Structure 1
Amino acid sequence: MKLNYPNAQTIPLGVVVQRSPGVTRWTKFAWKASSVLPGAPDADWKILRTEDGVTEFHAATLPLTLYVSDAEAYAHELQARSPSVYVVLRPNDATADKPWSVALVTASPYEAQDYCDSAEELVEKVTMPEGLHAWIASFVDQHYEEEVFVKRRRKNMSVDQTEDGIGDPRIRQVSDVYRAPRRREVIN
């Protein structure tokens, strides 16, 4: 089901997954999302290259959709030292040669954090290519307006009270309420 969102923009984004030899005897291979390909055609675990036991696959092409409601998150990510997109991989038990399925690609660090809360998915941070960075920056410039900080002013404060902060006004006292207690003398 495709939903229409006003002012949303979408681009197809290919996900490159790297398989390298495992470093322990319990893990045969280590998998990670290594890069993205903006505007890539559809693919299903197409081998891109193999070198020294490391294989890179064009695992899938998913839509990267930017929403106006998430423009603040995109602006936050663009200010990072290394702006990135996030790839969410889910375990796929169907085949041993394709142990992961690409579930989502997002430019929002807030959405990626939501997927990190679950231990089921693998969330990989992948550096944005320059063209993708420019496209997202253009979207942010067009749709994001930083909210101006307005200091809240106190209301309903009565400043004409004469006994402001001096004891309980219901109890009548002749002397200072902050006086030190005196010791009572006992007469025999």
Structure 2
Amino acid sequence: MIEKYLDKEPMVPESCFIHELATIVGGVKFGERCSVWPNASLRGDSCNITFGDNCNIQDSVVVHGYDEVVFGDYVSLGHGCIIHGANIDDNVIIGMGAIVLDGAKIGKNCIVGAGSLVTSNKVFGDGLLIVGSPAKAVRKLTEDEIRGIIENAEEYMVFLDNYKINSMKKAYK
């Protein structure tokens, strides 16, 4: 479902794929080739939400906040994660079930581990593995791990292309 809220309307380029079971409301703006999967909820009612290019918002993700929420390019939001009022830079994976709270900032080329809790106003620099509750930077990422962040986003672009093709065909029995 894609719907306007007051004077805020989602902006979705043709190159994106939004699953019919996703909910996108209000001031949500996507870059090129983003994908949003079943049961994701992106609520731009009390704030604007902006995604860069080549982002994937996986199943059951929640994005909301009271201050603007900004995502860079090649961001993967893992299944069931919650982003509330945070900013995420380019080339980042937020692991499944992770929570990133108001005012937090995640730098470029980072991985936030599954189930981690990034507390309010916590700022992490570039190239880090961030894990735990509360989350801490435990080490720098390797070049292979950083390449893996891009590869993960590219895998979702393959899904995007396949779903766009298949959503044009309806199977009835």
What TM-score does the superposition give when structure 2 sets the normalisation length? 0.22
- Structure having greater relative contact order (Cα 8 Å, sep ≥ 6): 1
Q: Which has the higher strand share?
A: 2
